[in-house]
A and B are shown apart, each in its own frame.
Chain A
Amino acid sequence: MRANPAEYDLVAPRTLPVVLSLLAQEPGAWLPIAGGTDVMVQYSAGKLSARNLVSIWNLSELRKIEISTEEIQIGAGCTYTDLLQHEIVNREFPLLSRAAGWTGSIANQNRGTLGGNIVNASPAADSLPALLAYEAELLLVSASGERRIPYAGFHIAYRKTQLAPGELIRAICLKRSFSGYYAHARKVGARNAQAISKVSLAALGRIADGVVDDIRLAMGSVAPVPVRLTEAERIVKGKSIDSELIHLARATAAAEVRPIDDIRSTLRYRSAVAGNLVAEFLEQLRASHERAGKSSAVLARWNVLSVDKAAEEILPCCGSKSWAREMANRRPVTDEASILAACDQIWEDLPESDWLEAFRSHPRIGESRSPVSSSAQSATWSGQEQQNVGLAREAVKAILAEANRAYEKRFNRIFIVCATGKSAPEILEILRRRLQNDEPTELHEAAEQQRQIAHLRLKKWLTL
């Protein structure tokens, strides 16, 4: 039955100390409510047993992210949108930003909070495996003070936490020590958006001297609380990843989880998926290590070339000579992330004439020769990028050629799109939409496409 608002009270103190003293005066009598994405659902359904609520939404003490050199402290009242918009969270804690991005809908991300996700204590909560993998710590605050505990023990049983009456989570602390790790997050649900997971994985791994020197496998929806797969971790740690180890880790993970049958899935399916997700992670960890090995060899060689030679070698990745020379001047560059960051920064700052030079180095979509002669490497990459267009029916290709001409007539330059993975009809749709752009909008859209092409080509170059 629908709840009657007249039977409930809600107060909204303006500061955290007032909230805490209210909670201390009458322990257990007040239920905190932040963005309401869980509490209001129970309330609306008439299933909320608490009658007195205290709002902690938007309290400034809870809605800030504090950065020090060692750690970040995320206020418990930060929303998923806050996390997604935070540069350091995105860069250093990708497992958390991935989880934030697949939690609920945009509207729910604008209201749901990280602290709320923890206290609500669902075994399927999206953000919790990430917190386990990063070995987060929680700052718990009450009128009588603050304590710091590892998040790992916070959920003691299904929907039960260590939170004492009168206590709130103030912040979630993450150590800033994961730059050397490969991070992998995967959610298996019935649909992409807004689904409650059947199984989710947040995993971190690091390889040193050919063996896995650290691994964290954290899963949701496979036990009464989010869990680390300590058995599978133990089996992998200290070993070099080969197919035998992957096989063993898959079986261990599948046997180690304790899922249930429920409306979303079955025990058998969840166990099998748990094993498969661990195997998938290990395969990707191995591949990323091999890629990193190749990239560092390519970069080590490139770093010691003359500026001219270095610029010449990297030119096919973009097509602008100024860009290539600037890239060569940024050396030494030691890893993929740094070279991609340098690429973006230089590309952004180039004048329009250099952008246009890069555009001219590409063939028209559907053709194999660029307006100005470009390197053999660039032509090969163009061929790979336009692979799907080549598969299109002749009629579609003819329409595309016509649309290309219309574009060139309108903007006086060739149409640039990051074609990798796109079919001819998709490209046609994009072209038609962009024909409606005004000149400045279109120039920037083309430049963004060229930036994406450069990223893909740099990655290919690093593993040549």
Chain B
Amino acid sequence: MTNAPRARAKCEISFTVNGKPETVRAHPMARLLDVLRFDLGLTGTKEGCGEGECGSCSVLLDGALVNSCLIPALQATGTHILTIEGLAQDARAQLLQQSFLDCGGAQCGICTPGMILAAHHLLHKKSQPTLDEIREGLSGNLCRCTGYMQIFEAVADAASRGAST
């Protein structure tokens, strides 16, 4: 049996991004990350490792934290996607952002959108996480600048300011 691809054609893929219905023409195996960045211009979602280790490309897919570099665009059909641009409209995220600023939780910035999404996802599940729970919740997001402590402090600070509600 040949292993040549059946079709190279692009197809129409529809989903909701940050509350807005979108339809893109993309190859079904295009990575969701690339569709968001290049087809929809949502460049807040970053590419770090491209293999699901670093969390820079984190988005929420139907409410679940995922690495968009590991998701074929076709599998996003019909889903609700929240990127950092969508979260930025949310008052809770602004609290998180302020805590990151106040605590020095952001430096070069490439991990920051993923960190904020992972933190938002965590606070949604646990409004007052312990330090261990914060560490676990952010363990899939790598930062090469801060040494992490400022980020953990920022999340704890945001929790105490009510970022989950």
Q: Do A and B come from one complex?
A: yes
The residues of A with any CB-CB pair to B shorter than 8 Å are 3, 5-12, 26-29, 33, 35-37, 40-41, 43-45, 49-53, 55, 57-58, 81, 104-108, 110-111, 192-194, 433-434, 436-437, 441, 445
Known contacts: A27-B1, A106-B118. The answer to whether A53 contacts B29 by CB under 8 A is: yes
CB-defined interface of B3-29 with A at 8 Å, one 1/0 digit per residue? Answer: 111111000000000000000001111
Q: Which residues from B are CB-within-8-Å of A5?
A: 26-31, 34
B contact residues around A104 at 8 Å (CB): 52, 140
Q: Which of B50, B69, B156 is within 8 Å of A433, CB to CB?
A: B156
11 residue pairs bridging A and B, Cβ less than 8 Å apart: A5-B31, A8-B28, A12-B28, A49-B3, A52-B6, A57-B75, A107-B118, A108-B52, A194-B140, A434-B128, A436-B160
| Cβ B27 vs Cβ A6 within 8 A | yes
CB-CB under 8 A from A9, the residues of chain B are 5-8, 28-29
* Complex-state Cα separation, A377 to B34, whole angstroms: 63
The answer to whether B65 touches A106, judged by C-beta atoms less than 8 angstroms apart, is yes
User: Which of these, A44, A55, A434, A436, contacts B51 with CB under 8 Å?
Assistant: A44
Whether B137 lies near A106 (C-beta < 8 A) is yes
Which residues of B approach A to under 8 Å, CB–CB?
1-8, 26-31, 34, 50-53, 55, 58, 64-67, 69-72, 74-75, 77, 118, 121-122, 127-128, 135-137, 139-141, 156, 159-161
Could you tell me if A110 and B29 are in contact, using CB atoms closer than 8 angstroms? no
Chain B residues with CB under 8 A of A81: 64
In Å, the complex CA distance between A8 and B3 comes to: 10
List 16 additional contacts besides A12-B74, A37-B70, A105-B141; criterion CB under 8 Å. A8-B5, A9-B7, A9-B29, A36-B72, A40-B69, A44-B69, A45-B51, A52-B6, A53-B72, A55-B72, A104-B52, A106-B139, A107-B140, A110-B66, A111-B67, A111-B71
Chain B residues, Cβ within 8 Å of A436:
160-161
Residues of A within 8 A of B72 (CB): 10, 33, 36, 40, 53, 55
B64: chain A residues within 8 A (beta carbon) = 81, 110-111
Report Cα–Cα, A11/B6, bound state, in Å. Answer: 10
For the complex, what is the distance from the CA of A45 to the CA of B52, rounded to whole Å? 12
Cβ-defined contact, B74 with A36, below 8 A:
no
- Contact (Cβ within 8 A) A107 B128: no
Residues of B within 8 A of A26 (CB): 1
Which of the residues B27, B50, B58, B127 comes within 8 Å of A8, measured between beta carbons?
A: B27
Report how far A62 CA is from B136 CA in the complex, Å.
28
- Within the complex, the shortest CB–CB distance from B155 to chain A, in Å, comes to 11
Q: Can you name the residue of chain A whose Cβ is closest to the Cβ of B122?
A: A106
A26 to B2, CA, bound (A): 9
Q: Could you say which of B31, B50, B69, B140 contacts A105, with CB atoms under 8 Å apart?
A: B140
Task: List residues of chain A with CB within 8 A of the CB of B29.
Answer: 3, 5, 8-10, 43, 53
A53, B74: Cα distance in complex, Å = 11
Q: What CA separation (Å) do A336 and B70 show in the bound complex?
A: 44
CA distance A161 to B128 in the complex (A): 44
Which residue of A has the minimal Cβ distance to B121? Answer: A106
A433 CB contacts on chain B under 8 angstroms: 128, 156, 159-160
Question: Across the two chains, which residue of chain A brings its CB closest to B35?
Answer: A5
Partner of B55, one of A11, A37, A105: A105
Q: What chain B residues lie within 8 Å of A27 (beta carbons)?
A: 1
A3 to B, closest residue via Cβ: B29
| B3 contact from A6, A50, A55, Cβ within 8 A | A50
Q: Are A107 and B58 touching (Cβ within 8 A)?
A: yes
**Closest 5 pairs (CB-CB, A-B):** A105-B140, A193-B139, A5-B27, A10-B28, A8-B29
Instruction: Determine the residue in chain B with the shortest Cβ distance to A53.
Output: B29
In contact, A105 and B66 (Cβ under 8 angstroms): no
B156 CB, nearest partner CB in chain A, Å: 6
Minimum Cβ distance to chain A for residue B129 (Å): 10
Report the nearest A residue to B8, measured CB to CB: A6
- A108's partner among B2, B6, B67, B122 (CB-CB below 8 A) is B67
Contact between B50 and A12, CB atoms less than 8 A apart: no
Q: Contacts A51-B3, A52-B6, A53-B29 given; indicate if A445 touches B51 (C-beta within 8 A).
A: no
Residues of A near B156 (CB, < 8 A) are 433
Indicate if the CB atoms of B3 and A41 lie closer than 8 Å.
Answer: no
